[in-house]
């Protein structure tokens, strides 16, 4: 089974930096992919 025959969601996190003790998430985005095609982009 290849990646083109699956359904999944890809997340993108934007942070203020790489330090988990000092920095924080400022934006979250996601897209749904079915059979290798984006079917529900963030709006």
Give the Å distances, CA to CA, from 25 to 4, 17, 32, 40.
30, 9, 21, 23
Distance CA 43, CA 38 (A): 13
How would residue 36 be classed by pLDDT, with cut points 50, 70 and 90? confident
pLDDT value of position 37: 87
pLDDT single digits (tens) 2-30: 666 788 899 999 999 999 999 999 999 99
Question: Higher-confidence residue: 39 or 43?
Answer: 39
How far apart, in whole angstroms, are the C-alpha atoms of residue 10 and residue 12?
A: 7
pLDDT surpassing 60 at residue 1: no
**pLDDT for res 40:** 78
What pLDDT shows up at residue 24? 95
């Amino acid at each position: 089974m290849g990646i083109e025959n699956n359904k999944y969601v890809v997340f993108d996190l934007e942070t203020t930096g790489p330090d988990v003790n000092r920095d924080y998430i400022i934006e979250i985005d996601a897209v749904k992919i079915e059979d290798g095609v984006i079917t529900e982009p963030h709006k």
